[in-house]
A and B are shown apart, each in its own frame.
Chain A
């Protein structure tokens, strides 16, 4: 993160889906267990916003929302996570939240709501995240996602994909890729690049394998697909 903006997240250990979406979108956040810890953990510049999961513990969640509004520096951007059955609860609590997300949720929807809520804050995901055609790499956490779902890669696959995503649309020879990614005169030679490209294509799946295009007798080009323009 380039900004210091910190999100408060309730409960202190949110579900893995929530945590993953926050991380992969590049937000800095801290879990809070109760209104008391909320004040204690508050950064000096105040919370930049909050994501409050009321789906499992509505009472605790709404208590956090109230506390957030009552802080010395009241938090202006609160996203609450509720189940469909809790929509009725919203009526009398319009002052306690700014947007809501129904749970269960699609990670991309939550990501979009977070982005929208914080679009003019410094909080927008930093340059540690690179993105291309639904493929997203968080360079800080080494995590890759495709269409919001995690993409599990070995270290060298990750390094190769990072190179491609950071350099879309250009053709690179195997030799250049080898020296850029493997970083030295790697003994395996340029065949190593082919082997890893095949593995990446297999992991991206048939539909998206063409993201890495073979340019005959030259090398590879990433992201000249129909979506990338």
Chain B
């Protein structure tokens, strides 16, 4: 199979006149990295990998051996649809390995592979379908983000521009093996949502990387700035990346049980219990910026409390009610992650938390179907419902003491991530905000 895949890739490069092959991989913070090789180098790269100096990549750097290998995953080879066919280009995702071929522990894709392997040992395949929100703005100049559909930047044709951008984005995604389920204009000005159809978690993490790139690239071609910043505008909803999750065992949905009142299996319930119990510990990974926590506040459809319910959008986990008899669609929706996360690492810790619940048979707490935003702290405490971490600092503290997250990410990334994010927090803490100027300058 591997050989046939290689032949397929090499032949396609020749037949389609590909001039450049872009090797894609991801740094620890979730930024897409790339270097280009010529078709002549590709055969070599497919066989032996391409070595490069990893020390310039965030989270890869080590004091001694800085060189690592990028090994293309031939099954992710795609011709880039937006490049002129006369100078056609293709991309392929890479796994990063040490020079001796063993997985490089700083590579998020390898981390996810390792976590998926743990699930596989239990007989599970992990499926993910994200609903990704983002904003279109005028190109950032010195100050505030200017939405396209207000503020006059593009007054005349705003709706046209945004919706044609979205259409073009979807067309491009679909030619790159990323089928779209729904898309629409979200509640906030210039906010859009595109929902992807489920795939296994590794393919989906690759798809999210491609997605963010395509959305930004297509917007930039029209001089528009697309952003996945979790909360770019005060007072309106921020951007989340709700994740629809399920585990399959062979051909059957391990989350489905026909005899259960909610059609949820014991596996689903203990997986949810795992997510709930470890929610605080994994939040720094699923919501990794200072800004992420300005989204996780009451009143904007983002979760604040660690709870679950069927039709209650204020909780951390929602259990969508699938159409009758469609056992394959039984799933849970985790509502906290935002689109600025590193999808490989986020899916890793989410899976690890859920599987911990399954392996240790955690008990699922009672459903919280009231509107939690309207309940007082005491009432919530009585129900045993906690809050998600309130700041990056809180989230880092919880992560730091988590054995689960350390094991799931591996020591290399665990330590680097904490170090990097603590620095981000320290930097933020010294910042004097407009809020403080407005509130205190005159009165104090």
* A interface residues (Cβ-Cβ under 8 A, vs B): 16, 20, 23, 141-143, 150, 152, 154-158, 174-175, 183, 187-192, 195, 198-199, 201-203, 205
CA distance A60 to B271 in the complex (A): 72
Contact of B251 (CB < 8 Å), options: A20, A156, A190, A205: A190
B125 to chain A: which residues have CB within 8 Å?
187-189, 191
| Docked complex: B329-355 residues within 8 A CB-CB of A | none
List 12 A-B residue pairs with CB atoms under 8 Å apart, sorted by A's residue number: A16-B85, A141-B15, A142-B11, A142-B15, A143-B16, A155-B5, A155-B9, A155-B77, A191-B328, A195-B197, A199-B177, A201-B179
User: Is the Cβ of B120 less than 8 Å from the Cβ of A198?
Assistant: no
Alpha-carbon distance between A16 and B9 when the two chains are bound, in angstroms: 19
Given known pairs A16-B17, A155-B4, the reply for A202 and B200 (CB within 8 Å) is no
Chain A at the B interface: mostly helix, strand, loop or mixed? helix
Residues of B within 8 A of A (CB): 1, 4-5, 7-9, 11-12, 15-17, 74-79, 81, 85-86, 120, 125, 127, 174-175, 177-180, 197-200, 203, 248, 250-251, 328
Say yes or no: A203-B175 contact (C-beta < 8 A), given A142-B11, A142-B12, A195-B199: yes
Q: Quick one: which of B4, B8, B15, B203 has the most chain A CB within 10 A?
A: B15
Q: Which residues of B contact A183 (CB under 8 A)?
A: 1
- Nearest chain A CB to B172 CB, angstrom units: 11
Which of B5, B86, B177 is the one whose CB lies under 8 Å from A16?
Answer: B86
If A16-B17, A16-B86, A174-B251 touch, whether A158 touches B8 (CB-CB below 8 Å) is: yes
Most buried by B among A143, A175, A188: A188
Question: In the complex where A174-B251, A191-B127, A198-B197 touch, is A143 in contact with B15 (Cβ < 8 A)?
Answer: yes
For B120, the chain A residues whose CB sits under 8 A away are: 187
Cβ–Cβ < 8 Å partners of B8 in chain A: 142, 155, 158
Q: How far is the CA of A156 from the CA of B198 in the complex (A)?
A: 17
* In the bound complex, CA of A9 to CA of B250 (Å): 53
Contact B74 A155 (CB under 8 A): yes
B81 near A152 with CB under 8 A, answer yes
State the Cβ distance, A108 to closest chain B Cβ, in Å: 17
Closest approach, in angstroms, between the C-beta of A15 and any C-beta of chain B? 9
- Expressed in whole angstroms, the Cα–Cα distance for A187 and B15 within the complex equals 32
Measured between beta carbons, the chain B residues less than 8 angstroms from A188 are 125, 200
* Interchain CB contact under 8 A, B179 and A189: no
User: Which residue in chain A gives the minimum CB-CB distance to B4?
Assistant: A155
CB A74 to nearest CB in B, in angstroms, measures: 32
Kindly list chain A residues whose C-beta atoms are within 8 Å of the C-beta of B174. Answer: 202-203, 205
Interchain CA distance A48-B390 in the complex, whole Å: 77
Chain B contacts for A152, CB-based, 8 A: 12, 16, 78-79, 81, 175
Report A-chain residues with C-beta under 8 Å of the C-beta of B75: 154-156
11 additional A-B residue pairs with CB within 8 Å, beyond A142-B7, A143-B12, A191-B127: A16-B17, A16-B86, A142-B11, A154-B75, A158-B8, A187-B120, A189-B248, A191-B248, A198-B197, A199-B177, A205-B174
Q: Which of A20, A187, A190, A199 contacts B179 (CB 8 A)?
A: A199
Set of chain A residues within 8 Å of B86, measured between Cβ atoms:
16
Taken together as a complex, chains A and B put the C-alpha atoms of A67 and B199 apart, in Å, by: 58
Which listed residue, B11, B77, B78, B179, touches A202 by the CB 8 Å rule? B179
Q: How far is the CB of B288 from chain A (nearest CB, A)?
A: 28
Q: How far is the CB of A211 from chain B (nearest CB, A)?
A: 15
Q: State the CA gap A201–B74 with chains docked (Å).
A: 21
Query: Complex: how many Å from CA A155 to CA B301?
Result: 41
A residues in contact with B178, CB < 8 Å: 199, 202
In order of increasing CB-CB distance, the 5 nearest A-B pairs are A202-B174, A202-B179, A152-B79, A190-B251, A155-B8
CB distance from B347 to the nearest CB of A (A): 16
Q: How far is the CA of A15 from the CA of B283 in the complex (A)?
A: 54
* B78 touching A191, Cβ below 8 Å: no
Q: Closest residue of chain B to A188, judged by CB?
A: B125
CA distance A191 to B250 in the complex (A): 8
